[in-house]
Structure 1
Amino acid sequence: MTILDTDILAPAIPADDVITRSGHEAARTQRRLSALRAARAVFVAHGYHGASMDEISTRAGMSKPVLYTHYASKLDLYLAVLQGYLDRMVDGIRDALAADAGSGDKVRRAVLAYFDFVDEDPGGHTLVFESAVPSEPCVRWRVRNAMGECAVLVSAELRAAGMDDVRAYACAFGLVGASHSAARHWLDAGRPIPKSEAVDTAVALCWNGLSGTTRR
């Protein structure tokens, strides 16, 4: 039997069924997004332990049993929200380093990406780095993995600038840690100076050291 024969003999899927199935998938996706938006607001407002699936389901406009068909537990829902923030952080660094610019400008863009992440959604930053469930291995792993991804992206730029692998990775972790600490201090202090000045200060610390290390 040829492939053509097989195709002819295969039962056709009615167009109405395809449309119905597509509609169901779209509705399911929309419900998941609604659940994530609601959970994000509740977790940021009340923390992990203070949040309840009852409040999340009500805010999402669905019953709790329906919510559980999308996320098996509160921890599963928390991890989904957490991963969304972590992905945004990593994507910010990736976009900053993908620019067609010199090394110094890329460092500034990478540092700015951390400040933007902290500044544009302080609640999300708190959720990521001050999690109420840090003892959960899956939470620690996700945060550590995201920070590692950022360091890998930065280290690739440092290697391209002539630094050896070991020092590039060590300096990349230093840059990531310094950027995060500086941005967090700036936020906790009540944004005492304009963000651009805070970024310039952090960049001066990072880039003066990195440029010297690269030359060596």
Structure 2
Amino acid sequence: MSSAAQTTGSGADEVTVRGARLPRDQRRAQLLDAANDVFTTRGYHAAAMDDIAAAAGISKPVLYQHFDSKLELYLALLDQACDALVEVVRDGLDSTDHNADRVVAAMGAFFDFVSSTSGEFRFVFESDLTGDGRVQERLWRVNNDVADLIAAVIAEDTRLPPEHSKLLAISMVGLAQVGARYWVSDRSAAIGLEQAKALVSTLAWRGISGFPLHEPRERG
């Protein structure tokens, strides 16, 4: 008898593996978690589907029931990481109407992202597949989506033209991304998370606050 059997009904699609039955969406989440650990530890090129299957505690045929290739699995994780970054920046910007606090939230979101124990930031900031067009498109899109969120706030508060607001936003994204990547890779600097966020946010605020508000707001 095969070690893996798949049953599909009108409800949840279930997969039976070594005596354990999980709904298909739960199995997919389990496989993504295992693949995340393997890719972030070994990188794309050194990782093998055998390694991922072993990390998930399943057979390789079951892994291929969910993902046709290693690249498909990697792209699914990259999509997940990109969505997470956009969401954390959006949440930060939506958390306050105070302009200085918005800068802190936007810049700090990148540091929160890289400090996550999941390590998913490596798919966005340190991908070893940047030569692949599908990866390039996703990386361009996430930077553009985050910049659009920040640009909308800049345009609303300063009434700068859209192209000016977008350039400023892209520059802020670059500052936050490079700063966060340096911070997470250089632990010898002994700068705590909150201090790192404050330093980069102060730099960004000193720059963006030079553009006058269209309608100055009272500080609460």
TM-score, normalised to structure 2's length? 0.84
Unaligned runs of 5+ in 2: 1-8, 15-21, 215-220
Partner of residue 183, structure 1:
180
Which whole-Å CA distance do the structure 2 matches of 1:66 and 1:95 have between them?
37
Return the structure number with greater helix share.
1
- What letter is aligned with 1:89? L
SS of corresponding position for 2:155: helix
After the TM superposition, which residues 80-99 of structure 1 pair with which residues of structure 2 at under 5 Å, given as runs? Answer: 80-99=76-95
Map of 1:16 onto structure 2: none
The aligned counterpart of 1:62 is: 58
Match of 1:143 in 2: 139
Matched, 1:22 2:11: yes
| Aligned 8 A contact 1:47 1:127 in 2 | no
Tell whether the 8 Å contact from 1:186 to 1:192 is kept in structure 2 after alignment: no
Matches of 1:57 and 1:157 in 2, distance apart? 44
Aligned partner of 1:203: which letter? S
What is the CA distance between 1:182 and its match in structure 2?
Answer: 1.2
| Structure 2 residue 155 is matched with structure 1 residue 159 | yes
CA distance in 1, matches of 2:166, 2:176: 15
For 1:202, what is the secondary structure of its paired residue? helix
Structure-2 change in CA distance of 1:122 and 1:202 (3 Å): farther
User: Could you tell me how far apart the structure 2 residues matched to 1:109 and 1:159 are?
Assistant: 17
Shift of 1:122: 7.3
Say whether residues 1:102 and 2:91 are aligned partners.
no
What amino acid sits opposite 1:91 in the alignment?
E
CA displacement, residues 11-43 of structure 1 (integer Å, 9 cap, x when unaligned): xxxxxxxxx532436711111111111111110
1:121: Cα distance to partner?
3.5
The residue type paired with residue 195 of structure 2 is E
Which residue does 1:8 correspond to in 2? none
Q: What is the CA–CA distance in structure 2 between the aligned matches of 1:70 and 1:193, rounded to whole Å?
A: 42
Aligned to 2:129: 133
- The structural deviation recorded for 1:166 is 1.5
| Aligned residues between the structures | 198
Distance in 2 of aligned mates of 1:141 and 1:214: 35
Per the TM alignment, residue 111 of structure 1 is displaced from its structure 2 partner at its CA by: 0.8
Output the TM-score relative to the length of structure 1. Answer: 0.85
Give the Cα–Cα distance (whole angstroms) in 2 for the partners of residues 184 and 60 of structure 1.
29
Identity of aligned residues (%): 36
User: Once the 2 structures are TM-superposed, how far is the Cα of residue 176 of structure 1 from its aligned partner?
Assistant: 0.7
Q: Secondary structure in 1 aligned to 2:51?
A: helix
For the 8 Å contact 1:158–1:214, the answer to whether it is kept is no
- How has the CA–CA distance of structure 1 residues 200 and 38 changed in structure 2, closer, same or farther, with 3 Å as cutoff? same
Distance 1:199 1:152, change over 3 A: same
1:201 aligns with 199
Distance 1:40 1:155, change over 3 A: same
**Partner residue in 1 for 2:169:** 172
Letter in 2 for 1:22: G
**Over 3 Å off, 4+ runs:** none
